[in-house]
Amino acid sequence: MSLRRWLTLVALIAAGESVFLLPFVLIRVFRPTFLDVFGITNLQLGAAFSLYGIVAMVAYFGGGPLADRFSARKMMTAALLATGAGGFVLATIPPLSVLTFLYAFWGATTILLFWAALIRATREWGGPAKQGQAYGLLDGGRGLLAALLVSVSLLVLAGLLPADVGAATEEQRRAALGRVIWIFTGLTLAVAALVWVAVPERLDVAEDERPGLTLAGVRRAAVMPVVWLQAIIIICAYVGYKSVDDFSLFARDALGYDEVSAARVGTLSFWVRPFAAVAAGLLADRIDSTRVIIGGFVLLLAGSTTIALGTLQPGIHWMLTGTIVGTSLGIYALRGVYFALFGEGAVPLAITGSATGLVSVLGYTPDVFMGPLMGYLIDRSPGPSGHQHVFAVVAGFALVGWIATLAFRRIARSGRATPGGIAAQVASVTSRSRPVGS
C-alpha cells in the first residue's frame, strides 16, 4: 500500500476524532469538572446534547446527498474549521443559553458537512474487499488518538489542580478546564489543515461519476430492508456508546472516586477503543461483520447488566476495571464495524452517502434522547441508583440490537437484501413454474 494512501487514512482518522473533541470527548472524560465549572446540572447538559441531536437529525438527512455530490476534502475541512471556531466561544465559559446554542451549531458543523463525507471516504478507501479493515482502522485510530489526547489533557488538568483535588477553588477548576479546551480547539484547527493537504480531491470515484444533488440516492436506500435494520443496530450500539459518558460520573457518585481518579476511570475506556475497533475490523473481513456485531452486543449486555444489578461495590477496583474494559470491548467492536454492514448488505457504492444519511438519521437518535434521559435518571435518584437505571436502559437496547443483527444476517444471506434480490428470487420461481413454450 502506498504512502499516500496511508497518509489519507491518517488524515481521515485524525479528522474523525478531532471534530468531536469539543462537543463530546471533553464531556466524556471531564464531566464532573465541566458541570462544576459551568454551574449546570446533568439534566441541563442533557438538554444541550438533545438540541445538538435535533439539529443533527436534519443534518444527517441533508449531509448524505451532499457527500455523494461534493468531495470529502472540501466538506471535512470546512467542518473542522467551523467546529474549531466554536472552541473560542466555549473557552470563555459561557452561560447555559450560549452553551446550548453552541451545541446546536456543532450539530450542523459536525454532521451536515462532515459525517457522511467521512463514511463515504472511508468506504472508498477500503475498496470492496477490506470494508471491515477500513472502518476498524478508522475507529481504532480515532480511539488511539483520543486516548493519547485525553491522557495528556488529564495530566494538564491534574497539574493545574492542587494535590488535594477536593480543595481546589472554582478559579483553579476554571483555569484547568480552560487549558484543556484550548488544547482541543488548537488540534481541531490543525487537523483541518492536514485534511486539506492529505486527502485527495477524489478517491475512487471520479467527480463526473458522482450523482447530482438530488434525493434519488435516498429513495434507493429507503427501499432496502437491510438499511432499516442497520439503522436499528446503530441505534442500539450508539446507546451503549453514549453510556461511556457516565463511566467517570458513576465512579465518583457511586464508588467514591475523586475528580481526577474518576477521570482516569473514563480514560480507561478510551484505551480499549483502538484495540477493540481494529481487532473487530480485521475479524469482520475474515468471518463477516454480523458475527462480530453479535459478539459486541453480548459483551455490552453482560457489562451493562453487571452495573445495573449493583454488583460493583466501592473499594473493589479490579471489578470496576474489568467491567469497564469488557463493556468497552463490546461498545467499540460495534462502532468499529457497523458501517461495514453496507458491504454485507449489498448497498451500492454510488449511494453510500445517502444510505449513511438515512441510517444515521435514525441510528443517532440517542443524541436526542439519551442525554436528557441519563440526566433525568441520575438527578432523580442520586448516588448508585440513578446510574443503575441508566445501565438497565443500555442493557435493554443491547438485547434489541442483538435480535436486529440476527434478522439482518438472515436477510442479507437469503438474497433479499435489496429489492432486486427479491425480484430475482420471484422471477426465478416464476420461470421454473412456467410451462415449456409458454
The pLDDT tens digits for 247-261 are: 888 888 878 787 778
Tell me what the mean pLDDT of segment 311-320 comes to: 79
Please give the share of the chain, as a percent, with pLDDT higher than 70: 89
Which tens digit of pLDDT belongs to each residue from 342-369? Answer: 888 887 777 777 788 888 888 888 878 8
Please give, one letter per residue, the 3-state secondary structure of the chain.
CCHHHHHHHHHHHHHHHHCCHHHHHHHHHHHHHHHHHHCCCHHHHHHHHHHHHHHHHHHHHHHHHHHHHCCHHHHHHHHHHHHHHHHHHHCCCCCHHHHHHHHHHHHHHHHHHHHHHHHHHHHHHHCCCCHHHHHHHHHHHHHHHHHHHHHHHHHHHHHHCCCCHHHCCHHHHHHHHHHHHHHHHHHHHHHHHHHHHHCCCCCCCCHHHCCCCCCHHHHHHHCCHHHHHHHHHHHHHHHHHHHHHHHHHHHHHHHCCCHHHHHHHHHHHHHHHHHHHHHHHHHHHHCCHHHHHHHHHHHHHHHHHHHHCCCCCCCCHHHHHHHHHHHHHHHHHHHHHCCCHHHHCCCCHHHHHHHHHHHHHHHCCHHHHHHHHHHHHHHHCCCHHHHHHHHHHHHHHHHHHHHHHHHHHHHHHHCCCCHHHHHHHHHHHHHHHCCCCC
> Among 197, 189, 196, 211, which Cα is nearest to 70's?
211
CA distance 341 to 327: 22
CA distance 266 to 264: 5
Distances 189 to 81, 85, 99, 115, 118 between C-alpha atoms, Å: 6, 8, 20, 17, 17
CA distance 307 to 389: 9
First to last CA, the chain: 55
Q: Note the CATH number of domain 3-203+210-424.
A: 1.20.1250.20
Q: Does position 169 have pLDDT exceeding 70, yes or no? A: yes
Which tens digit of pLDDT belongs to each residue from 195-204? Answer: 999 988 765 5
Please give, one letter per residue, the 3-state secondary structure of 12-64.
HHHHHHHCCHHHHHHHHHHHHHHHHHHCCCHHHHHHHHHHHHHHHHHHHHHHH
CA distance 361 to 359: 6
Q: Does position 430 have pLDDT exceeding 60, yes or no? A: no
Q: Does position 207 have pLDDT exceeding 50, yes or no? A: no
Take residue 280 and report the three cell numbers written for it. 473487530
Which tens digit of pLDDT belongs to each residue from 265-281? Answer: 877 887 888 889 889 98
Amino acid (1-letter code) at residue 358:
L
Looking at residue 208, its pLDDT comes to 46
Q: What is the mean pLDDT of the chain?
A: 83
Looking at residue 163, its pLDDT comes to 66
> Among 134, 194, 186, 150, which Cα is nearest to 14's?
194
Take residue 218 and report the three cell numbers written for it. 435516498
| Single pTM value for the model | 0.72
